[in-house]
């Protein structure tokens, strides 16, 4: 268990249980703690998996919890077959490759199962998709086929219980206002991203819960949960250089950035300026407070935040590196395909070329006037400053 830390709608676990039963093999479950740089993320993970090992004992009397290190590979030597969650990001793929190597040298069957997405990435599409528009029907047309419930009469673990509580609260109190979810001064998004990241809940479970609800906003939410999220998985799966500045976006974007590399930057800030809330922009500083203090950031502010880093860095590559580093360190939902895709989007990925302007070239531009015009953004600043005062 490397990516989906739950029981219900856990397809890897389900396949492993069935395989063991069919071939009369002993089932052993190994829970592998995910790699994280920020202790807050480890704490979040541990809090939500306190009862996981005990619950897994329903299926096997041999359940092990291991840190992500070499001992894992020694553990695998005696197996007949191994079922492992599919890996998408470089770090996970490296771990998978080592498991594969172990299997090859020890004659072990290896099965990879996708539990983190609704429609398996290579089934949804056979290529890197250009945008949400090009992948939408490919995914939506397969939802019925992949809406499969497994182990759904089994217990929910703490992580899933918490995700379901947040989901129910979202459905009851926020979904009717989801058309306003872009407004950072309101709080109408689901806050489920960290639970999805660790696979505490399956998108299929969320979909089933929503099927019982009748509101126009449901489709807008499913667009984010399934189409946008799985477009991000498509991006990292078909583009092995998804995390390298030189290869993560489109030719038109690189061409345009090259033409504007020497444009005068009015402000230049460092990573330290950002994490110390030391820019001239109160909205950006407020977004950084949200990031550093809570491990989250409102979805609209994530776009603004990354666009400003582009505007205030000496080069586009430096901006990319800073954005990825902050994203992966501070966000509890960081280190995901969504994070790499969200940052790449700010550099033109899955977007179109816009009217030429300084520094941004043809990349979409965002400024504080937009925030002031569309939202009661001062409210957001007040809320974030209160969070900071409360430490």
CB of 85 to ligand FAD, least distance (A): 17
Nearer to ligand FAD, 99 or 344 (CB): 344
Q: Which one-letter DSSP state was computed for residue 247?
A: G
Nearer to ligand FAD, 52 or 232 (CB): 232
Nearer to ligand FAD, 44 or 79 (CB): 44
Please give the Cα distance from 197 to 183 (Å, whole number): 23
CB of 247 to ligand FAD, least distance (A): 18
Alpha carbon distances (Å) from 213 to 143, 170, 373: 17, 12, 33
CB of 150 to ligand FAD, least distance (A): 21
Q: How many helices (H) and strands (E) does the chain have?
A: 21, 4
CB of 42 to ligand FAD, least distance (A): 16
Q: Which one-letter DSSP state was computed for residue 33?
A: P
Nearer to ligand FAD, 11 or 195 (CB): 195
Q: Cβ atoms within 10 A of the Cβ of 350, count?
A: 22
Q: Quote the tokens at residue 223.
A: 């667009």
CB of 227 to ligand FAD, least distance (A): 9
Q: Quote the tokens at residue 194.
A: 């960290």
Nearer to ligand FAD, 28 or 321 (CB): 321
Nearer to ligand FAD, 185 or 327 (CB): 327
Please give the Cα distance from 162 to 84 (Å, whole number): 25
Please give the Cα distance from 333 to 352 (Å, whole number): 26
Pair 108, 81: CB distance under 8 Å: yes
Question: Which residues would be at the binding site for ligand FAD (CB under 6 A)?
Answer: 181, 189-193, 196, 224-225, 228-229, 232, 299, 302-303, 306, 327, 331, 333-334, 336, 338-339, 341-343, 345-346
CB of 346 to ligand FAD, least distance (A): 5
- The neighbouring-strand residues paired with 351 are none
């Amino acid at each position: 268990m490397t990516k989906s830390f739950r029981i219900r709608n856990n397809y890897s676990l389900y396949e492993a249980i069935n395989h063991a039963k069919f071939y009369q093999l002993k089932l052993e479950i190994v829970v592998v703690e995910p790699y994280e740089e920020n202790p807050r993320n480890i704490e979040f993970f541990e809090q939500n998996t306190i009862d996981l090992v005990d619950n897994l004992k329903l299926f096997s009397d041999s359940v092990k919890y291991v840190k992500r290190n070499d001992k894992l590979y020694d553990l695998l030597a005696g197996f007949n077959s191994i079922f492992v969650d599919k890996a998408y990001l470089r770090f996970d793929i490296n771990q998978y490759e080592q498991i594969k190597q172990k299997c090859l040298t020890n004659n072990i069957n290896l099965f990879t199962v996708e539990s983190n997405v609704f429609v398996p990435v290579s089934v949804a599409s056979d290529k890197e998709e250009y945008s949400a528009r090009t992948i939408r029907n490919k995914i939506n047309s397969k939802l019925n086929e992949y809406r499969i419930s497994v182990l759904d009469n089994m217990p929910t673990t703490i992580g899933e219980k918490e995700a379901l509580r947040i989901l129910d609260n979202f459905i009851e109190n926020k979904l009717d206002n989801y058309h306003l979810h872009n407004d950072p001064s309101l709080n109408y998004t689901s806050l489920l991203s960290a639970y999805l990241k660790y696979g505490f809940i399956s998108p299929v479970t969320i979909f089933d819960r929503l099927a019982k609800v009748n509101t126009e906003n449901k489709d807008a939410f499913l667009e984010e949960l399934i189409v946008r999220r799985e477009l991000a998985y498509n991006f990292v799966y078909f583009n092995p250089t998804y995390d390298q500045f030189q290869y993560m976006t489109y030719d038109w974007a690189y061409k345009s950035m090259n033409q504007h590399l020497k444009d005068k930057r009015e402000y230049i800030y460092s990573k330290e300026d950002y994490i110390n809330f030391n820019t001239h922009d109160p909205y950006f500083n407020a977004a950084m407070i949200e990031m550093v203090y809570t491990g989250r950031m409102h979805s609209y502010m994530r776009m603004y935040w990354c666009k400003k880093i582009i505007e205030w860095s000496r080069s586009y590559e430096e901006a990319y590196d800073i954005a990825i580093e902050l994203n992966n360190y501070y966000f509890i939902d960081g280190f995901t395909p969504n994070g790499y895709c969200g940052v790449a989007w700010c550099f033109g990925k899955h977007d179109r070329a816009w009217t030429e302007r300084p520094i941004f070239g043809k990349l979409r531009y965002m400024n504080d006037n937009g925030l002031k015009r569309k939202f009661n953004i001062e409210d957001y600043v007040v809320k974030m400053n209160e969070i900071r005062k409360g430490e």
